[in-house]
Structure formats: structure tokens, C-alpha cells
A and B are shown apart, each in its own frame.
Chain A
């Protein structure tokens, strides 16, 4: 309401309106509130922070974005999540802001910044923390079996066989949630084919899915599944209700592939295990594969995008600049998030878990490619089909041909 009143006067000099910033409502809002306060102290145009409970966020955004109630700046996941808005011509390309203030691009890690680039134009500035997917393990389980964390795919397969022989589920998987299953595909496609194949497919080249590399990635994964590495009941297990993490924490399973939030998940549910028993490595290399072993996949970060019809673009630009300020970085680190700015490295000592934060930061910084999760890179209409395809490939209901066909049928725009 205040926005309508405040901005109705038009953008004359010394204008004092408000801009609305819509964010995903959760614990991280603490930092966002603090930044808004800082910003409002000096700016004539005031920022109003609107938080929407996480589960309802995407629906709410979709409903208001083309109405007079639309925010000026909003939280998103980059990639496919903003593509429909770009297509509907609702978003402001940020090249203008960046031309005036190159820091809006240069102060962020490039692999992260690039995942909010749509059709060659930047539409978002990273905020909050990065969430690369890592291979976690239970140190004690591996040590007891006389194994070490695998560096190559062949080692992982060997480890899996040895663990299975000991009656331990080699890899915990929350297949009931479906997206944890997808992570295995994302990494294998990267390691076998390199990041180019998925990018090609996303750009509409359906032949990419049927390529030699695509088939090889599927065959490699199939080999691990058939070896019983995931057990037999993974589709009845969820990550979100704590089922899969408990398997690892209690030593019933050795590995789990999961986003970097896994550390805090375990810290909440099994603090002692998180402290001393939880190990983490990057995803193994695949011999003969085209992908760089340093590539990562996951959620690169969240982003702020700006609506074209905002009456205060200057204020929005000024607000975005806070996303690489020292205050922002420190506040994010304090709540366990890992910002993707170039100055983050200066403050890593202040993180909730410095060693873990440093590991992640180095990983993301050195990554030649940071593949945004497939279900976020594709437009929202593709999500269900992707999840169904990966689940059916894993549980054997469909084969490589069926998977390829399902992926070729995805809407790319």
C-alpha cells in the first residue's frame, strides 16, 4: 500500500518512494532485515522487505509478478526459474547497472554469476549462499571396512561392493524426494560428457540426449545401481524427513550425495556425528570422461532480480550493491551461508565452521563449471517429468532408451 502511495508522484528529483523486495521466508531473513535497515538509514528511497513462507513462495511470486502488486526486486533460483518472466518481458536486464558499476558483476564468482544469465543477458545478482553438491561419508564406517573416500568412479564401485559384502548399504538415497536421485545424473553427465552436453540439451538440441556420451553416462550409473550400491528400498526413503541422513549418521550406510546444507542437517539431528564422524569430498572422476573433476553441480546461489517496471531503478541498483559488502558477507557467514563474492575469502575465519566453509569456497571458486540443478535450469513445467524419468531409470521401470525419450520430450522454453 505504501508503495502505491509513495511512488505515484513519478520519478522527479529527490523522490522519496519505496521499493518492495520479495524474499523466500526462512531463517536467512535475519540477514536480509539487517541489510534493509542499513540501506534505509542513508537512502531517500526506502526498501520494504516482504517475506513469503518458503513453501508458498513460488506460487505467490507467479501470482503477483504481472500485477500492480508486483515487487520491485525478488528472490529466485536463477536459470529456468526466471526464464518465463524474461520471456514475458517483465525483468530488467542488468547490463545497464553493470556498465555504471562494474562491481555488480566483478565482485561475484563467475561460475555462480553466470547461472542467472538468460539469452546472454544477466538478470540477477547473487545473494545468500552457494550450495554445491558434495559426496559425504561416515568416516568410521569407511575406516572399519578398511576403505578410503574414493577419488575415482572405479574406487567408488569397488568400495560399494566391499561395503555391500559387509551388510552395509553403500550409499544412502532419499529416492522418495526424487531430487536427491537427480543429483547422481547431474554429476555423471558432467564427468562423462562435460558440462557442454546438458547446456546443448537445455538450448533445445534434443540429439544431445541420444548421444554416445549420454548413453555412456547412463550405462555407468546403471552399473552402480545394479551392483546394489543404493540398496533396494531407496524410493521409500526420504531426505526431507531425515530418513536418509539417519542411515549415514547411524552407520547403516556409508555415503550420501547431497547439497552443502547436509552439514547443518546432520548438525541439527546428530550433532556428535556432524562434529567428528562426517567426512566430505568432491564427486569422483570418471576415467575417459570429458568433464573436469573440479566441476561442481548444485544450486549455485539464490539471486535478486529486478522488475522492468520498477519506478526506482537507481535505488534497486544501490540495494544490489550491498550484496557484496563486507557487512553482508559477515552476516551470511555467521548464519552458516557461504556467499559467492570475491571478498568472502577474507572472512572465512568467522564462519560457523571455518574448515568446511573454506573447503566449499575453494571448491566453488576453482570450479570451471558450476551446473545449476537440472530441475532449476529447465523451466518449471519440466520439473515433474525430470523427476519421474530419473526415478523410473533408478528403479528399473525404464531403460536408457526410455530415459532419453523422456528427456527429449521436455519443454525447453
Chain B
């Protein structure tokens, strides 16, 4: 194809265009982040003046078994989320990008969980999972005594399930957009060559969705690392500390224990870990080279 791309030759917008956004970002993201960094070297209960205590908060975290456990739990939940959501949302998204009858109605129903607040979702699941009056009491062959939220494996399973249930629609939506952007000529050519739907999916759709997978995975990872509201309402970090994810531990330290120094240190750990993992995903998948999926078309 030799046709000139529309817009080619027009100069790129200057920095001026980004200035308003940059100012807001500086004011509401960078400045607070720096303040949190400073706070992490202080002892502050929110009442007295913050007192610098050097590395106390940091060495405290290093030797805090709950902190270490919380990072493990957070990573486990994130991994479960990515592993469960990616295949389901790709299939759902590609399906929703098609032209079947009733597609619009059905996808609208699939997207409902996305519209509900995480708080409402958690409250509803809490009621559904009540061991004595909810679903488990009716399906004792499956759930036993229904002690789902009272055991480590049960509670983590419930948290992962509720997260997947809630956020799969978002990722399906992203994949739907990605799938719609795949040039139809590819499918037409494949059909002429005699490729069936499954082969088309594996050899055209999946490779073409490469960049969408990365976008969606980064979102899932960041979302997984900052899981908070479902933990707050469903388990409050329990039983014991079994579901105390890092974001919830930060909240416990800062806003329940009024130890804002330690809370800030946990927040920074989260920022660093989330940034590193996102960078790794981008790097590992070659997204940083921004290879276009329409190259050569």
C-alpha cells in the first residue's frame, strides 16, 4: 500500500499541548508522592509534628513478617487474576467484536459487573457466601461447612474470584476494541486459503491482539497490586493475616493504627514494585519498541 497516511507531514503537537495535564500530574501525583517519601522517614501519628526517625520505618518493614507475607499474598492474587482473566476476556472480547445476533444485548449484560462499585459487589458476595444462609448452605456437597472466608485458601479464592468477576468485563471491552481494529482483509485472505475459525483465531486474531494483551495485562497487574476495597469488606485482611494484601496493610498501619510513617513506607514499596513489574511487562513483551500490528499492510 503506497497511499499516503492521513496526517503525514503535519508537525507533532508541541509540549504546550501537554502543559495543563503535566501541571495537574505534578500537583496531584508527583508532589504527594514526594511528600509520602519524606513521611516514610518520620514517625507521625497525625497529631504531633512528624519527627524524623531515619530508617526506622524501613528496617521495621524489612523485619515485619506481616509485610513480607503481604507482598506474597498480593503477588499471588495478582497472578491468579491475570491467569484467570486473560483467556476469558480475550474470548469474550473477540466474541463481542463479531456481528452475531443478540450480541449487543448479551454483551450489555456481561458488562454489568463493571458498572457496580467494588463496595457494592463485595457486600453482595459477602451475603451470597454466608455459610449458614447463603449459597454454601444449599450446596454442602461442594462447600462443606461453608467456611470459605475463614480459611486462607478459601478467602484467597473468593477474593480472586470476585476480582475476576468484576474486572473481566473491562478487559473484554479492551479486547473487543482491539479485535475490531484488526483489518478484515486478513480474515478474507485466510478464508480464501481455507483456514477455519479456530486457525484464524490462533494465527490472525491472537498475534494482532499482541499490543492489547500488554495493555490489558499492565492494567490487571497494577489493579491486582492495589487490590483494597474487596479485602476491606470481604475479609478485613483475615483470617489472621492471611489476606492482608500490601495496600490493605498500608491502610491498617496509617489509618487504623495512626502510624503514618510506616504506612507511607508501605505505600512507597507498592509504588516501586508496581512500577518495576509494569516496566518488566512492557520490556519483556517488546512493547517499548511500539511495533505496529499493521506493519506491512
Interface residues of A (CB under 8 A from B): 59, 62-63, 65-66, 84-85, 88, 90, 175-178, 231-238, 241, 243, 246-247, 252, 380-384, 387-388, 391-392, 395, 397-398
Contacts and interface: CB of A to CB of B under 8 A. Distances in A.
B256 A236 contact: no
Contact of A384 (B129, B154, B239, B257): B257
A220 B48 CA distance: 43
Chain B's interface size range is 20 to 34
Interface centre among A176, A177, A236, A388 (most CB of B within 10 A): A236
B281 interface: no
Contacts of B154: 236
Contact of B238 (A84, A88, A235): A235
Contacts of A382: 257
A246 B238 contact: no
B240 A391 contact: yes
Interface centre among B45, B123, B131, B240 (most CB of A within 10 A): B240
Interface in B137-163: 145-151, 154
A255 to B, nearest CB: 15
A216 B29 CA distance: 53
A247 B131 CA distance: 11
Nearest to A253: B132
Contact of A236 (B48, B150, B236): B150
B47 A395 contact: no
B258 A246 contact: no
A85 B47 contact: yes
A235 B149 contact: yes
B241 interface: yes
Interface of B is mostly: loop
Contacts of B235: 176
A235 B158 CA distance: 14
A88 B240 contact: no
Given A236-B150, A246-B133, A380-B256, A391 B238 contact: yes
Contact of A235 (B127, B239, B257): B239
A382 B45 CA distance: 13
A92 B258 CA distance: 22
B150 A176 contact: yes
Contacts of B210: none
B255 interface: yes
Contacts of A391: 238-240
Given A236-B129, A246-B133, A397 B239 contact: yes
B149 A88 contact: no
B132 A65 contact: no
Closest 4 CB pairs of A and B: A235-B150, A233-B147, A381-B257, A233-B131
A176 B257 contact: no
B131 A237 contact: yes
13 contacts: A62-B45, A176-B235, A176-B238, A233-B145, A234-B150, A241-B123, A243-B132, A380-B258, A381-B257, A388-B240, A391-B238, A397-B239, A397-B240
B48 A381 contact: no
B259 to A, nearest CB: 6
B150 A233 contact: yes
A238 B233 CA distance: 11
A85 B252 CA distance: 20
Given A232-B147, A388-B240, A247 B47 contact: no
